[in-house]
């Protein structure tokens, strides 16, 4: 640890919030809070769903560790508020956060830079017909994935194997988002890769290969069961892990992420080509979470990881001479 804990000042660990991932965020936040306190950091829990963000400034908080997931925490809204308050925060800035939370926008940006991502069809609530829903299977083939464009933790996600199940899958996703992402299903190895740092200093951590029961890596299997296998070292063929790390770094920099993130990737079992699914700019920090697992494989303890991330807290618009812009 380069900085003395006292140099961080009073630290707010933002957790909970109002998104569908509130429960996971509280678990992440409590883990981060305990880790920072164990290292001598003056850290305090702060739930934006229960308190006004203006209290951060009134109560003298010097920086924030964002352990919020999903909307109102990972989507640029909290980041924008902290910019206005002039309080440095962990993770990506306003624009990168708002782009990465939106899986469709992420795809558009990745495709503009010729980075591989599965083919997709976008449906908008109230703007499609039954025939258009039915036609998605013709465009993408079966099976395919249907999910809300701006939710995480596999919430509202359905793997559709029969054309007759499309309407129900779209209806489920539509409950959570006005934009419904229908995505080509890539059959093969599911992996994830965290990134730490910013710009040229960003580095990819070890890749984790995920083996879920019956290939179903859903909300329950992510957080509340012990049957999912996480393989690190990942055991991929020679050169594949390095290629995925390089691809993830490209995506991280393309979206202008900073501090940390985690990218999810599918590897086509026939061609071995990797496809980027999404980038999480405020990844989980629970007991089942993947960034701490990968960091541990790289020799970084959970506590050191939390302190390292806190050190990267920054603002998009840095105040000059100690005054707010």
Domain boundaries of the chain, sorted by first residue: 5-90, 99-116+186-308, 120-184
Catalytic, 165? Answer no
How wide is the angle at C-alpha 71 spanned by C-alphas 66 and 73, nearest 5°? 15
Active site residue 76: no
The catalytically annotated residue of 16, 73, 91, 284 is 284
**Predicted local distance difference test score (pLDDT) of residue 287:** 83
CA dist., res. 266 & res. 252, Å (int): 16
What are residue 64's DSSP bridge partners? 12, 89
Whether 19 and 101 have beta carbons less than 8 Å apart is answered as no
The CATH fold assigned to 99-116+186-308 is D-amino Acid Aminotransferase; Chain A, domain 1 (3.30.470)
Is residue 19 annotated as part of the catalytic site, yes or no? no
Residue 153 catalytic?
Answer: yes
The residue among 155, 222, 59 whose CA lies nearest residue 46 is: 59
CATH number for the domain formed by residue range(s) 120-184:
3.30.1490.20
Contact 28, 40 (CB under 8 A): no
Question: Do the beta carbons of residue 285 and residue 31 sit within 8 Å?
Answer: yes
Per annotation, catalytic residue among 223, 258, 275, 289: 223
Answer whether 233's CB lies under 8 Å from 297's CB: yes
CATH topology of domain 5-90: Rossmann fold (3.40.50)
- Marked catalytic residue, from 16, 17, 19, 21: 21
The encoded tokens of residue 119 equal: 């083919």
Catalytic residue flag (residue 284): yes
Beta bridge partners of 320: 323
Compute the distance between CA of residue 123 and CA of residue 129 in angstroms, rounded to an integer: 10
Q: What is the per-residue pLDDT for 324? A: 45
d(CA 138, CA 270): 21
Q: Is the pTM of this model over 0.85?
A: yes
pLDDT for position 215: 61
Residue 272 is a catalytic residue: no
Between CA 67 and CA 325 the distance in angstroms is 26
* Catalytic position from the list 179, 188, 262, 289: 262
* Core vs surface per residue 250-285: b (16+ CB within 10 A) or e: bbbbbbbbbbbbbbbbbbeeeeeebbbbbbbbbbbb
User: How far, CA to CA in Å, does 212 sit from each of 222, 269, 287?
Assistant: 9, 16, 17
Residue with tokens 């790390």: 245
Q: Which of 25, 153, 221, 282 is catalytic?
A: 153
Query: Which of these is catalytic: 47, 74, 278, 303?
Result: 278
The tokens for 294 are 């990968």
User: Catalytic: 256?
Assistant: no
Q: Is the bond preceding residue 233 a cis peptide, omega within 30 degrees?
A: yes
Q: Which two tokens stand for residue 224?
A: 């509340």
CB contact at 8 A, 292 and 302: yes
Distance CA(179)–CA(123), nearest Å, equals 6
* DSSP secondary structure letter of residue 139: H
Which residue from 309, 276, 277, 312 is spatially nearest to 292, judged by alpha carbons?
309
Q: Using only the alpha carbons of the chain, give its radius of gyration.
A: 20
Low-confidence ranges of the chain (pLDDT < 50): 1, 323-325
CB 222 within 8 A of CB 154: yes
How many C-beta atoms lie closer than 10 Å to residue 161's C-beta?
11
Catalytic residue among 19, 280, 282, 289: 280
Q: Establish whether 280 is a catalytic residue.
A: yes
């Amino acid at each position: 640890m380069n900085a003395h804990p006292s140099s961080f000042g009073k630290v707010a660990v933002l957790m909970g919030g109002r998104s569908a991932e509130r429960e996971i965020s509280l678990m992440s936040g409590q883990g981060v809070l305990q880790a920072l306190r164990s290292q001598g950091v003056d850290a305090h829990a702060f739930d934006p769903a229960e308190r006004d963000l203006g209290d951060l400034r009134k109560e003298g908080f010097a920086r924030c560790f964002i352990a919020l997931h999903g909307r109102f925490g990972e989507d640029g809204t909290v980041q924008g508020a902290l910019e206005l308050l002039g309080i440095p925060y962990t993770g990506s800035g306003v624009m990168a956060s708002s782009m990465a939370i939106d899986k469709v926008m992420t795809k558009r940006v990745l495709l503009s830079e010729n980075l591989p991502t599965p083919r997709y069809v976008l449906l908008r609530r109230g703007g499609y017909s039954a025939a258009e829903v039915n036609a998605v299977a013709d465009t993408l083939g079966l099976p395919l994935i249907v999910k809300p464009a701006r939710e995480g933790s596999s919430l509202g996600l359905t793997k559709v194997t029969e054309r007759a199940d499309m309407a129900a899958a779209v209806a489920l996703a539509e409950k959570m988002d006005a934009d419904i992402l229908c995505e080509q299903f890539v059959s093969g190895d599911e992996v994830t890769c965290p990134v730490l740092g910013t710009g040229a200093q960003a580095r990819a951590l070890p890749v984790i290969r995920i083996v879920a029961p019956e290939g179903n890596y859903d909300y329950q299997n992510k957080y509340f069961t012990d049957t999912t296998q996480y393989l690190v070292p990942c055991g991929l063929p020679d050169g594949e892990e390095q290629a995925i790390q390089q691809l993830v770094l490209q995506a991280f920099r393309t979206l202008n992420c900073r501090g940390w993130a985690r990218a999810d990737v599918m590897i086509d079992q026939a061609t071995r080509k990797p496809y980027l699914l999404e980038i999480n700019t405020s990844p989980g920090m629970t007991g089942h979470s993947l960034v701490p697992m990968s960091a541990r494989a790289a020799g970084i303890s959970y506590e050191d990881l939390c302190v390292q991330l806190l050190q990267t807290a920054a603002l998009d618009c840095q105040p000059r001479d100690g005054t707010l812009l």
